[in-house]
Amino acid sequence: MSDPIPFPGDLPPLIRENGPGGDATRALVDLLASVECPGLTARRRRREELTGASHDPIVWAQARGTNVLDVDGNRYVDLTGGFGVALLGHGHPEVVAAVQAQAGTMLHALGDVYPSAQKILLESRLAALVPWAARVILGLSGADAIEAALKTAMLATGRPGVLAFEGSYHGLSYGALAACGYKLSFRAPFAEQLNPAVRFAPYPSAEAVERSLDAARVVLAEGRTGAVLIEPTLGRGGVEPAAEGALAALAALAREHGALLIADEIYTGLGRTGTWFQSEAMGCEPDIVVIGKALGGGLPVSAAILREGVARPWGTSVGEAIHTSTFLGNPLACAAALASLDVLQRQETAAMIRRCAASIERALRASLQAPGLGVRRLTFAGMLVGVTIEGGLRRALAVCRRMLERGYVLLTGGVDGDVLTLTPPACMTDEQIDGFAEALAEVLSEHAAP
């Protein structure tokens, strides 16, 4: 066994001679391929066919700060921040300490029946995040909280319709999936079990805002829509921000036609885009704000924050809650979320996020705008960054794999798969940022656009 690699959480990549995918990885990935439903992690055969290179996963063993260590001892810098969860860095010490303390006293309570103090304290913290009187429904995943928001809209308006947007991603449980405009292939196999009253409009990007609002007017005028569900910036859909004024216009249209505006801030919220809630910064007053990802600092917890008035139609529980689950308000996750919020709400954290976002923007603009790199567009929304490249999915996958071999964990996004999507921890150092930007420029020039 070779020497362990140093792992304080703020180091550049260190990849062993044979690269990602050593013996320990191979053994686990073989096991995975034999047990997991093949539609999930598996071996990415299609990617292999497309690019001619292995796309086997690496297997994470440790994660701290910006670094991830795989089971073969390779050290990476995680540009995904664990799907945007680790805004504060993986395993933030205050979150870990809160989880450890909670684990020593109580792991589980009785959800909606006999809750833990942590659940109650978290709900009161979350209700105070918005400038209006609020009620909270907790969930375990982003999709969970979207379901709660959609149910609320149904109860509050009596209408089954949802207006959602092309390219948007809201999670894959049935209610959320029905409103996912990300890719038809996600919905198609389940189409017959999905809410038939969902309608899609073009996402109101700067380019499409007029078309989008026109389509929204037509759908809302039909009078069947109870919810307008929108991400302030498309996250998985390719880092596309809504045009200035678009969210506010949609909120006004929704109100005029008796529907609720649900801001899906699961990716964008809690500081990721440089403001606490991006919808608010865009001048929109949503009826429901949905958060997840960074909330638990690594533990699964999400929330739908409802205006008091739209929560009222839920009525008062008469003994058996009509919306709950075994793990509702799990004390471990709530303790983690309370600690995360403590850190996220500090001014130093906001300053750190701003600094890191500015550094990333500076480095990428300096490195990626040279001719010949095949970069079509750079999009910055704080710590949510999109690098749209020429050459489509095939080139994007090849670039991601090569970057992994150089020690950078990166994901493709966008409906066409051609957006390298960066949602790193905000504790990335300048050295790591510059190293990443240089490596990406080199890899893009090695893999020329066709």
* Contact residues for ligand PLP, defined by CB under 6 A: 83, 141-143, 146, 169-171, 231, 235-236, 264, 266-267, 292
Q: Which is nearer to ligand PLP, 86 or 375 (CB)?
A: 86
Q: Shortest gap between Cβ of 66 and ligand PLP (angstroms)? A: 20
In whole angstroms, give the CA distance from residue 277 to residue 300: 20
In whole angstroms, give the CA distance from residue 384 to residue 222: 35
Residue in the structure block whose two tokens are 């180091």: 11
Q: Which is nearer to ligand PLP, 261 or 373 (CB)?
A: 261
Q: Shortest gap between Cβ of 359 and ligand PLP (angstroms)? A: 24
How many other β-carbons are positioned within 10 Å of the β-carbon of residue 227? 29
Q: Which is nearer to ligand PLP, 266 or 368 (CB)?
A: 266
Q: Are 233 and 278 a contacting pair, CB within 8 Å?
A: yes
Q: Which is nearer to ligand PLP, 136 or 441 (CB)?
A: 136
Distances (CA, A) of 30 to 21, 45, 48, 62, 400: 11, 13, 16, 20, 22
How many other β-carbons are positioned within 10 Å of the β-carbon of residue 390? 15
Q: Shortest gap between Cβ of 84 and ligand PLP (angstroms)? A: 7
Q: How many Å separate Cα 297 from the centre of its chain? A: 13
Helices (H), 182-245: 184-187, 209-221
Q: Shortest gap between Cβ of 286 and ligand PLP (angstroms)? A: 14
Q: Shortest gap between Cβ of 235 and ligand PLP (angstroms)? A: 4
Q: Shortest gap between Cβ of 228 and ligand PLP (angstroms)? A: 15
In whole angstroms, give the CA distance from residue 255 to residue 274: 28
Q: Which helix (H) or strand (E) segment is 98 a member of?
A: helix 93-103
Q: Which is nearer to ligand PLP, 337 or 433 (CB)?
A: 337
Order of all β-strands in the sheet with 408-409 = 60-64, 67-70, 75-78, 408-409
In whole angstroms, give the CA distance from residue 32 to residue 161: 40
Q: What is the largest CA-CA distance in the chain?
A: 67
Q: Shortest gap between Cβ of 83 and ligand PLP (angstroms)? A: 6
In whole angstroms, give the CA distance from residue 115 to residue 119: 6
With 0-12 CB in 10 A as exposed, 13-18 as middle and 19+ as buried, what is 360? Answer: buried
Q: Shortest gap between Cβ of 101 and ligand PLP (angstroms)? A: 25
Q: How many Å separate Cα 47 from the centre of its chain? A: 23
Q: Shortest gap between Cβ of 357 and ligand PLP (angstroms)? A: 18
Q: Shortest gap between Cβ of 227 and ligand PLP (angstroms)? A: 14
Residue in the structure block whose two tokens are 């105070």: 128
Q: Phi and psi dihedrals of 187, rounded to 5?
A: -90, -35
Q: Are 323 and 137 a contacting pair, CB within 8 Å?
A: yes
Which amino acid does the sequence have at 297? G
Q: Which is nearer to ligand PLP, 80 or 432 (CB)?
A: 80
Residue nearest to ligand PLP (CB): 142
Q: Which is nearer to ligand PLP, 59 or 179 (CB)?
A: 179
Which amino acid does the sequence have at 434? D
Q: Which is nearer to ligand PLP, 83 or 276 (CB)?
A: 83
Q: Which is nearer to ligand PLP, 272 or 402 (CB)?
A: 272
Q: Which is nearer to ligand PLP, 95 or 234 (CB)?
A: 234
